[in-house]
Structure 1
Amino acid sequence: MIFRVRLILTMLLAGTAVCFQSCNKSSENTAVEEDIPKEVSYNFDIRPILSDKCLACHGPDANKREAGLRLDVAENAFKALQENPKAHALVAGKPELSQVYLRITTADTALRMPPTGSNLKLTQREVDLIGKWIKQGAKYEKHWAFVAPKKPALPEVDNKDWPKNEIDYFILDKQEQKGLEPNAEADKERLLKRLSLDLTGLPPTLKMMDEFMADNSANAYEKMVDQLLKNPAYGEKMAIHWLDLARYADSHGYQDDGYRTQWPWRDWVIHAFNKNMHYNDFVTWQLAGDLLPNSSKEQLLATGFNRNHKITEEGGVIPEEYRIMYVTDRNDLFGKGLLGVTLECAHCHDHKYDPFSQKEYYQMFAFFNNVKEVGIESVIGGPETYAKKPLMEISNQDVKDILTFVNKPDTNRLIVSVMGDLDTLRKTHILLRGVYDAPGDEVQPATPTSILPFDKNLPKNRLGLSKWLFDKRNPLTSRVYVNILWQEFFGKGIVKTSGDFGMQGELPSHPALLDWLATDFMDHGWDIKRLVKQMVTSATYKQSAVVTKEKLATDPDNILLARGPRYRIHAEFIKDLVLASSGLLNKTIGGPSVKPYQPAGLWEGATSGRGLLSVYNQDHGGALYRRGMYTLIKRTVPPPTMSIFDASNRDLCEVKRLKTNTPLQALVMMNDPAVLEASRVLAAKLLQEKTESKDKITKAFRLIVCRKPSEKELDVLTAYYDKQIKSIKPATAEKMVAVGEYPLTKNLDKKAQAALMRVISTIYNLEETITKS
């Protein structure tokens, strides 16, 4: 045990050292100021400065605007100043006459902008950029993300042999500009692990490894891609990012946090990805399946997307206050998840940075305000509270004839919350300061004009909104989803702030590539599997993750993608890898969520004491070995192991998970009963094989790490096994193999099993095991 702890601590400390070195180099790199570009761009050079340093006082929010000056709109910025009609903030071509430039360069602290009390300060480079921009004519541009993408030509590159598809031309062009060269292709073992985890969330099987290693044909990799895309586990893996976005959970939230049966909608999402439902239909069914002509029960089930929000069951609440909260949630999800903008910032006032007025917020709000729902429907209790009206019931006949993908395990009543509008139109008002009981002017359904005005010929309902969303002139829809998928496979989006394409968001690292992918995605019918295949068959994706000192110094965050992606896999897939590699995985798709091992007392210590979820009653048998995505999520007390590995608690729409690194994660891998049980079960299986100890350890290593161990690694692990088998006491061995509920294998040498179990547990605790590299 001491050896094991030391080994893991050594790995953690080594990782920490790398982190400090990387951070220091990153800081040094940031300190080196880049040259001023020959042509200064408003969108890529000037707007970010204004957004960070100026627009809080001189931006879209009229209530916070100082001196009547607005700098984000050209006609306002060039006007005579309100306080001095003889002066102008900007004079094209003349910095010396432009008050903006004069105020950011003055030595007088009483006049200097930004004000000294704001704690904001322009760097010399930012000052020089603004000066050069004014000298070049101070040309304004519409925000890049609000201009419909046009398909750019492929850039010319020097290394014409490297690109595998169009993606690579854009990536290589940027690398060559910075004097970088791409990495060589990753070795086949690591590449297969990366691909399998990305497309199915599961490690490759030994059979897959052996076949891929033996296949020397030119299209061996593409054949493996096609095989994995057809695997039913693909739909499960792809569903995870959508469940985060759609804030899917198994409880209502708030204090009582009662049980809900929304899982059939989750089953539909998996089904939709597996059958490659194209993105426009996938989203339209979820936004407005109930409004489609002759809508089917499947289309109605899809609308559960917009009923996944938190719902109160507490007595004494004000119903209208909570109903407004539900509509607000749907509106904010639409903005963040589908448009990639911070629309919610205009809930109480005009947006301070983006061109969204409070009126436009409530015009969007109107699309979701006609749902036939109430703020509170019933008090927590029996099955009638598992779903809230409007709802649909799923019968056994439905599962047999229509909803064949729903894994309904029994004959109990199954109900799901779905969308359904009132017969009459509910009026929508601007809510003053965003307060539910302070209605202002009435508004009609419409969309922000800065993105794309709403076509008057479209119906003013959710179906019309979906048609607007997938209008090819809409500048955001395709870009936003392409970026989310890129984030799934490369660790970060082309736009790092994947939920904010507005003026405060990060600029795209490869704007031309983003536009090429977005237009290509639309041109090919919003085909998701085709887009996924494009990404994973690119030379960019297939690169080795090895990093040199030179590349780490030049590009510490791998923005230019001159090496392969390397980061820890999602919480759900860590559990999946452990279960799959040990042979414990229950591959059943869909069905009610399950309650695996969990520390005692967590629910009981944070509950109102009412309802099915007041006490944690652990499941048994095959339910313990379901994939991580099927773990029941109680919003007020989310699954602790998954939370430690940064899984979403599904309170709100989340398009990007955090990636943290804490000692708690190491402690989970060392002590979680699921990991220890998997170690015990795999050890038992290997001991029943008539092979040498080195062969058993090699097989365990391949199953878990997905490659053959080096000779040195094998020697260390074998020596550890030999030492353990000599030193473990019978009583200790007896206690070790008793972990978990999976039946014990009879007639095994318990000392040998405990010793091999420790070796396998050590392999599970390797950093490489849960890292995509």
Structure 2
Amino acid sequence: MNIKWNRFPIGISLLASVWLGQACQKGGADAPALESVPDQISYNFHVRPILSDNCFACHGPDANKREAGLRLDIAEDAYKALAETPGAHGIVPGNPSRSEAFIRMVSDDPELRMPPPSSNLKLTDIEIQVIEKWIRQGAKYEPHWAFVPPVKAQVPSPKDARWARNDVDRFIRHTMQQVGFKPNEEADKESLLKRLSLDLTGLPPTVEMMDDFINDNDPDAYERWVDRLLSSDAYGEKMAVYWMDIARFADSHGFQDDSYRSMWPWRDWVIHAFNSNMPYDQFVTWQLAGDLLPNPTKEQILATGFNRNHKITEEGGIVDEEYRVMYVTDRTNTVGKALMGITMECAGCHDHKYDPISQKEYYELYAFFNNIRERGIESVVGGPETYAKVPFMEITNEEVSSILRFVNKRDTLQLIVSIMGELDSIRPTYILDRGLYDQPTTPVKPRTPEAILSFAPDLEPNRLGLAKWLFDPQNPLTSRVFVNQIWQEFFGRGIVSTPGDFGMQGALPSHPELLDWLAADFMEHGWDIKRLVRQLVTSATYRQSAVLTADKMERDPENIYLARAPRFRVKAEFVRDIVLSSSGLINPEIGGPSAKPYQPPGLWEGATSGRGILSMYKQDHGPQLYRRGLYTFIKRTVPPPAMTMFDASNRDQCEVERTLTNTPLQALVMLNDPTVLEASRVLAGRLLQSSGSAEDRIATAFRQIVCRTPTEREMKLLTRYHQGRLESLGIDEARDLLTVGEYPMVQGLDEVEWASLMQVIVSIYNLEETISKT
């Protein structure tokens, strides 16, 4: 089929997005700028961000880069006499004029001033005053907040406690009062249901759901709808999108040849685990070490595919050990970023410059993943035997009918999946000089960073022991990191806005007491994910309207204080889901192999080595064309173009947040993508088969797509546009428009009327509100 990609003019009902994309920032820089010097100085919240941004690179944890023998991130080192300046001390508590570090900060001599002019860093007057006052107040150091186990703070009692629906609201309202904000009113029912449905299922509500919810006046109606959506199979699909980014799931190996891999049964397991509400500690333990559990089941072993989702080469002429080390490094970095919220990769070549993590500790963590039965290169591009790499497991039809019923295996072909599996012996692990695979130095054993939590001697020195360490009640990071990721999923921004970095350079939490309360509460209630989600979406904070006043825009443009509901575009996968679901095209099948929808010709062919089954793009047909965005085939070297335009990950590495952009290319996708045009054609055809006027059909289409009743002004604009197309469209142009897509044509409809309504629907799909949470 010859699909045309340039059918509509750019100027159809374009609305600008109000989302302000946020880039990942350094931690100190992400802290609110001090406008005045606080009465009581806190090392964690006032001093450390200044030192971390300006001083720690040369006077921090990295011993190899430390200057003048001065270390400022540890009290004992900062207070002691300087080796290069006898009698002088870096910091003298209570006395700034005798503190050599402070003397250098205020020096007018460029040879002495710190930070040096060559660094292009300079302390502000306020920052200098903060450091001076902190020293006068005793220069008291505090442990880094994220390395202290979370404790349930006392729930605040805000003045207008009636607004709060649960304890989450009491923390949020208390902070609002401190900054002089009042919460928005509750959103209208249409907005609430759309928001809730998109957040819990990734799908827009149907017209029938909207009618039922609007007409349900029971006091507990909203809570019952929360439970209804949480029990939907689509909930697991929605949550799986977030986990696919963390697990760097893709349908190809990566690198130049980038051939096929069969990891989708692991994705089916993730959906199943979320839908069955598997506790988070079990969910992660099975993925890290299911094969090491006593008498592991096939399901537990399949879960370990999590750590085999990394890129794998199939090139000839490579050094096997170089790539094997690369795979182990990827697994180490993924666990550090996704589960611990620490930039462990910074310590792969040298001691961490900002966090108290040494290079030795990096390779001790690396050692947990260094004993897998794998090679850097196992085979070249070929037949089914290359779809998974050793160690792998085969899934039989009998197992799919019994112990692995959640795997959507449609055929009788051999199905193999890469998994984790230990060697029979212990592979020695060494610190690698500068991270180079061929430069081993000192041998190390599996251990964890001491600054976070010691690795207890009774724990197994393997991945199972690591999992137990992660879920030790005294581990300060695991629960905090996860609840922050889930908060980000529903509110658009984490309580810590750098979800992959809880270290010294990470952002300070906007609501530290709430973060710790949620983390402790999550652990106390058995790591129950659905309970956590329910807590968030039933809160008054979540249920606010997204109306933005001038005052709140000026004082809190990023909605840090949550005095309104966030408004932002949904993820790329859900843009597709909205189009397919609202038009009635969506294929509701759960799980199974990935699908190849419409794609401009020549993309794969122009970026391939010419070898392997993925050298040419072979589009799917029939129901496979209408599968949810979660199931779109991802070839790492040429990711799906329409989804890429909406900031989807190409899954090269672990990602714990997506950048949200707003570009004209996104409007062009919504105007020209065959899936959008086909959905518009199909929906228009169905509406024309129903009774009613043109205005009725337009209003119905608007409600199905935008999930609310159109205003009078909107109806005037749309009906005027519709009438204009009826008058200007010729029969040939109409027939050309109606040829898009493979879904069968309806016979006997007026083609000009059909194409005119189709173009109105395209314009509705192109509204910013259509693909946004409001």
Residue in structure 2 matched with residue 23 of structure 1 by the alignment: none
Supply the distance in 1 between the matched residues of 2:217 and 2:490 (Cα, whole angstroms).
25
Secondary structure in structure 2 of the residue aligned to 1:684: helix
Query: Residue in 2 aligned with 1:130?
Result: 131
State the alpha-carbon separation in 2 of the partners of residues 300 and 749 from structure 1: 57
Say which SS state the counterpart of residue 61 (structure 2) adopts.
coil
* Structure-1 residue corresponding to 2:585: 584
Q: What is the 5 A alignment of 1:66-81? A: 66-81=67-82
1:479·1:514 contact (CA, 8 Å) conserved in 2? Answer: yes
For the residues of structure 1 that align with 2:60 and 2:495, how far apart are their CA atoms?
Answer: 26
For the pair 1:550 / 2:551, whether they are aligned, the reply is: yes
Please tell me the residue identity of whatever aligns with 2:109. D
Checking the alignment, whether the CA contact within 8 Å between 2:95 and 2:135 is kept in structure 1 is: yes
1:189-220: CA deviation from partner (whole Å, max 9, x where unpaired): 01110000000000001111000000111111
Measured after TM superposition, the shift of residue 34 of structure 1 is: 2.3
Q: Which residue of 1 aligns with 2:401?
A: 400
Amino acid paired to 2:671: M
SS where residue 441 of structure 2 aligns? strand
Aligned residue identity for 2:74: V
Corresponding residue of 2:118: 117
Structure 2 vs 1, CA of residues 321 and 261 (structure 1 numbering), >3 Å: closer, same or farther? same
Contact 2:31 2:507 in 1 (8 A): no
- Secondary structure in structure 2 of the residue aligned to 1:540: coil
How far has the Cα of 1:32 moved from its partner? Answer: 8.1
Q: Distance in 2 between matches of 1:610 and 1:2?
A: 34
Is residue 2:471 matched to residue 1:466? no
Q: Find the counterpart in structure 1 of residue 384 from structure 2.
A: 383
Answer yes or no: is 1:6 the counterpart of 2:11: yes
**Pairing 1:704–2:705 present:** yes
| Partner Cα distance (1:326, 1:63) in 2 | 27
Q: Which letter does structure 2 place at the counterpart of 1:697?
A: I
Shift of 1:726: 1.6
Q: CA deviation at 1:4?
A: 6.2
Aligned mates of 2:700, 2:399 — CA distance in 1: 45
Identity %: 64
TM-score (norm 1): 0.97
1:30 to partner: Cα distance? 11
Counterpart of 2:145 in structure 1 is 144
Distance 1:112 1:103 in 2: 5
Question: Per-residue displacement from partner, 1:93-128 (whole Å, max 9, x unpaired)?
Answer: 111211122211122222111111110001111111
The match for 2:722 is: 721
User: Hey, what's the Cα distance between the residues in 2 that align with 1:553 and 1:331?
Assistant: 42
Relative distance call for 1:732 and 1:330 in structure 2 (3 A) is same
Aligned equivalent of 1:25: none
SS in 1 for 2:134: helix
Residue 446 of structure 1 aligns with which residue?
447
Q: CA shift at 1:36, angstroms?
A: 1.9
Name the structure 2 match of 1:609: 610
Number of corresponding residues: 761
What is the rounded CA distance, in whole Å, between the counterparts of 1:350 and 1:111 in structure 2?
Answer: 26
The letter of the residue matching 1:694 is E
Per the alignment, residue 632 of structure 1 pairs with: 633
Decide whether aligned partners of structure 1 residues 48 and 682 sit closer, same or farther in structure 2, where only a CA change above 3 A counts: same
Provide the residue aligned with 2:61 in structure 1.
Answer: 60
The correspondence of residues 565-576 of structure 1 with structure 2, limited to 5 A, is 565-576=566-577
Amino acid at match of 1:450: A
Paired with 1:161 and 1:94, the residues of 2 have a C-alpha distance of 49
> For residues 277 and 327 of structure 2, what CA distance do their matches in structure 1 show?
30
1:472-483 alignment, distance < 5 Å? 472-483=473-484
Aligned match of 1:655: 656
CA deviation vs aligned residue, 1:698-735 (integer Å, no higher than 9, x gap): 11001100000011111211121122112110001010
The aligned residue for residue 25 of structure 2 is none
Pick which of 719-728 and 638-647 moved more. 719-728
SS in 2 for 1:748: coil
How do 1:518-529 residues align onto structure 2 when only pairs under 5 Å count? 518-529=519-530
- The aligned residue for residue 324 of structure 1 is 325
Equivalent pair of 1:149/1:518 in contact (CA under 8 Å): yes
The alpha-carbon deviation at position 159 of structure 1 amounts to 1.1
Contact 2:372 2:422 in 1 (8 A): yes
- Name the stretch that deviates more: 88-97 or 363-372: 88-97
CA distance in 1, matches of 2:499, 2:32: 26
What one-letter code is carried by the residue in structure 2 that aligns with 1:155?
P
Aligned to 1:771: 772
Specify the SS of the correspondent of 2:85: coil
1:235 lines up with 2:240 in the alignment? no
Question: How far off its partner does 1:35 sit?
Answer: 2.6
What's the offset of the Cα at 1:6?
3.0
SS in structure 2 of the partner of residue 379 of structure 1: coil
CA distance in 2, matches of 1:184, 1:724: 40
Cα separation, partners in 2 of 1:595 and 1:391, compared to 1, 3 Å:
same
Match of 1:419 in 2: 420
Counterpart CA distance in 1 for 2:300 and 2:43 is 44
CA distance in 1 between counterparts of 2:616 and 2:11 reads: 38
| 1:301–1:418 contact (8 Å) kept in structure 2 | yes
Q: What are the ranges of 5 or more consecutive residues in structure 2 without an aligned counterpart? A: 1-5, 22-29
8 A Cα contact 2:31 2:49, kept in partner? no
| Other-structure match for 1:410 | 411
Residue 297 of structure 1 corresponds to: 298
Q: Residue in 2 aligned with 1:175?
A: 176
C-alpha contact (below 8 Å) 1:593/1:630 kept by paired residues: yes
Tell me how far apart the structure 1 counterparts of residues 232 and 457 of structure 2 sit (CA, whole Å).
44
Query: Residue 591 of structure 1 aligns to a residue in which SS?
Result: coil
Alignment partners' CA distance in 1, 2:533 and 2:741? 38
Report the CA distance between 1:31 and its aligned residue: 11
Give distance in 2, aligned partners of 1:266 and 1:284: 16
Distance 1:110 1:441 in 2: 39
- Taking the aligned partners of 1:3 and 1:313, their CA distance within structure 2 comes to 42
- In the alignment, is residue 213 of structure 1 matched against residue 218 of structure 2? no
Match of 2:354 in 1: 353
Distance in 2 of aligned mates of 1:638 and 1:407: 24
Matched AA of 2:295: N
Quick one: distance in 2 between partners of 1:766 and 1:579? 16
1:193-204 to 2 correspondences below 5 Å: 193-204=194-205
- Work out the CA distance in 1 between the residues paired with 2:264 and 2:38: 53
C-alpha contact (below 8 Å) 2:7/2:737 kept by paired residues: no
Structure 1: distance between partners of 2:663 and 2:747: 38
Query: Counterparts of 1:647-686 in structure 2 under 5 Å?
Result: 647-686=648-687
Q: Verify the 8 A CA contact 1:4 1:762 in the aligned structure 2.
A: no
Report if the CA contact (8 A) 1:235-1:272 is conserved: yes
Q: 1:33 to 1:476 in 2, by over 3 A?
A: closer
**Structure 2 CA distance for aligned equivalents of residues 98 and 159 of structure 1:** 47
